A and B are shown apart, each in its own frame.
Chain A
């Protein structure tokens, strides 16, 4: 065992997975990533603002590099337009978002889980980008790798959604148990001629060839475009291309569906949580079982797009308690909307982590 923090584990995993450029703008509580990346990434650049950060990353990605950044809400807000661009251009990159207490500048050194629905709605038109959420140090390692892999395999920006407590708390941890990470290789693309930057194969993913290629002309485009990467307005070809952006992720989601399910035989009640609240849920589950209560626990790690496998699990439980560190219950709203449902309940809190006792209380009756 050694004392280590989540920022360090994630940074190391990213580089081992093949990420080679970190573009940073300092912001609390993402600044440990910045410090570790300065030591570890083959290339580190300090951007002058978060719009530049994401634009530079898009340029690096378009040139065949694999860029990473880490930010928090104020920086993420500035990145939203460029995130749309990267999504539309289909550029692999990883954005680590460390949540902190909002609204607005809020409290930079207080954790939170307040940005899920911003990410759900970030792409104009409701298109989605994969959002993974670590709930343990094992997840920090494994999901950072999966995030890089997903970004490359599906030509998409991916968000790793963390919180202050996940990346700035030290824990004793046995690193020897972590699996080896193999560098994610961009498989030699099978190119149908003439090459077109947005002509997709059967899996909906166009083979990625970077700008500057010696053999193929590469055209990338943030505006509505056809297969060749040139602007087309609402032509059938352009609409098919735009529709493909959604289909390629939803169609392949089983390849990046991650969750942890601790299911008890005969349990009709389910605790649902993610990220930093998952630890309190794990302790609460043990406490409830000691009391003889039959309860199961679902920790969601692929938050977006919502995997059908997660919905299938939820359908099996009558009473569900969503545990998350925000007031409105953003995960609950993501799944069930704003309609009131008697058996779908929430444990919510802001300003400090939800404690196991606060979850157990919800099961008192």
Chain B
């Protein structure tokens, strides 16, 4: 014997409200389709349409205004169980404030039914007009606003819903619900409803102010959530081998400054990795405008004998700058003891002690920052060339980087150390 979906004949709505008719037909449609109460999850919205929970023997979840289709999407994909039926119920106010959610559920063709009980107004707050209130209804209510309503049936269809329909004759409700329940994917049923308190009170009058019935469908497989097995992002293996040596005694702070597309961030990571292979602790962070494809690109690297806590650089030991953008950004960070390694094109009388090199000319736009950093670090004995080469080896452009490192030695020109 079928277990009843509806637990009472007493509806929680005003006498004569169309919502009660719709809910009774939904319950009947579910029962006749063979759903047991615990096969059904009702997701109810805020507003009069959201009063349904206590009269149903199903699972129920009562959320926020307008969000029922979004909440239902999560429930449906979370259960990922074709044996369970998720039915969201909201009013025209909910469909207005949550239109994005309705469209998104339709676009994805999530396996669920959304019933929009459209009484053309916000009932609980006093009968204000919604985005689904028609011009004819507003004229009748003497509301000075001839903005047309959203046609959510067509919108849902265009967004990709398997089914969408608008119905007004109570005698047809059950058949439409049954069809929606049997449709895999997203089905929207907009039900025209009377509102004895604030809106249309007679079915005959309702027909005069609502758009005509409509039924649209498309063949489309429903969204399915597939839960994959994935591998770890990293192995918790032991320390990397650190066979190289460095003459960094305590801590070295490096700023690498260039422009977007110059590989500055990769170079900084490479230097940090070479440091780790030399038995040092390292940190690296980038700074760039939010438009990552243009403008300056700056990176800070700290190499240290001891664990690094604070990762900021109050006074960099060296600034390596290869473009005007980069130098403009890094200039204010030059302190009295900061070494400067600059591309020859940035020659500046303000920095008589700077070291220069033809990094751009000799290593190209993409290699300049690496050439400048590598040549200085090798020349000063801070990192071994082999440590840098080893760090480049695993990189996706490893060979190109290694080529730059190989020829970087001797690119820095200036006073011998």
- The chain A residues found within 8 Å of chain B, CB to CB, are 1-4, 8, 11-12, 15-16, 20-21, 23, 28, 36, 39-43, 45, 48-49, 51-52, 55-65, 67, 81-82, 85, 89, 108-109, 165, 168-172, 174-176, 178, 210-223, 229-231, 279-280, 282-283, 352-353, 355-357
Q: Is the CB of B236 within 8 A of A178?
A: yes
Residues of chain B within 8 A of A61, CB atoms compared: 74, 78
Q: Is the CB of B273 within 8 A of A3?
A: yes
Given A63-B78, A172-B272, 5 new contacts (CB under 8 A): A169-B285, A169-B311, A212-B84, A218-B60, A283-B309
B227-254 contacts to A, CB under 8 A, are 227-230, 232-240, 242
Cβ of B371 to closest chain A Cβ, rounded Å: 21
Residues of chain B within 8 A of A85, CB atoms compared: 63-64, 67
Residues of chain B within 8 A of A352, CB atoms compared: 312
CA distance A282 to B269 in the complex (A): 25
Q: Is the CB of A63 within 8 A of B79?
A: yes
Q: Does B220 contact A (CB under 8 A)?
A: no
Count of residues in B whose CB is under 8 Å from the partner chain: 68
Q: Does B289 contact A (CB under 8 A)?
A: yes
Contact with A along B257-276 (1 / 0, CB 8 A): 00000000000010011011
Which of B233, B242, B280 has most chain A Cβ within 10 Å? Answer: B233
CA distance A214 to B287 in the complex (A): 53
Q: Is the CB of A59 within 8 A of B59?
A: no
CA distance A1 to B277 in the complex (A): 9
Q: Which residue of B lies closest to A352 (CB)?
A: B312
Q: Which residue of B lies closest to A230 (CB)?
A: B54
A-B pairs with the 3 shortest C-beta distances? A59-B74, A63-B78, A55-B70
CA distance A170 to B266 in the complex (A): 12
Q: Does B339 contact A (CB under 8 A)?
A: no
CA distance A176 to B238 in the complex (A): 5
Residues of chain A within 8 A of B239, CB atoms compared: 1-2, 174, 176
Q: Is the CB of B230 within 8 A of A42?
A: yes
Cβ of A279 to closest chain B Cβ, rounded Å: 4
Given A43-B227, A172-B276, A218-B59: A282 and B309 interface contact (C-beta under 8 Å): yes
Cβ of B241 to closest chain A Cβ, rounded Å: 10
Query: Quick one: which of B67, B78, B290 contacts A21, CB cutoff 8 A?
Result: B78
- The chain B residues found within 8 Å of chain A, CB to CB, are 37-38, 41, 43, 53-54, 57-64, 67, 70-79, 81, 84, 100-101, 104, 225-230, 232-240, 242, 269, 272-273, 275-276, 280-290, 308-312, 314
CA distance A61 to B61 in the complex (A): 12
CA distance A60 to B41 in the complex (A): 13
Q: Is the CB of A81 within 8 A of B64?
A: yes
Q: Is the CB of B59 within 8 A of A211?
A: yes
CA distance A36 to B234 in the complex (A): 11
Q: Is the CB of A109 within 8 A of B290?
A: yes
The number of inter-chain residue pairs (CB within 8 angstroms) is 220
Q: Is the CB of A1 within 8 A of B240?
A: yes
Residues of chain A within 8 A of B101, CB atoms compared: 52, 55
Cβ of B305 to closest chain A Cβ, rounded Å: 12
Q: Is the CB of B78 within 8 A of A353?
A: no
CA distance A215 to B37 in the complex (A): 11
CA distance A218 to B56 in the complex (A): 12
Q: Is the CB of A279 within 8 A of B309?
A: yes
Residues of chain A within 8 A of B314, CB atoms compared: 355, 357
Q: Which residue of A lies closest to B85 (CB)?
A: A212
Q: Is the CB of B227 within 8 A of A172?
A: no
Given A39-B230, A214-B38: A65 and B78 interface contact (C-beta under 8 Å): yes
Q: Is the CB of B232 within 8 A of A12?
A: yes
Q: Which residue of B lies closest to A4 (CB)?
A: B234
CA distance A52 to B104 in the complex (A): 9
Given A8-B234, A169-B284: A55 and B100 interface contact (C-beta under 8 Å): no
Residues of chain B within 8 A of A43, CB atoms compared: 77, 225-228
Q: Which residue of A lies closest to B226 (CB)?
A: A43
CA distance A172 to B228 in the complex (A): 31
Given A52-B70, A109-B287, A171-B282: A355 and B77 interface contact (C-beta under 8 Å): no
Cβ of A255 to closest chain B Cβ, rounded Å: 26
Query: Quick one: which of A23, A56, A174, A221 contacts B61, CB cutoff 8 A?
Result: A221
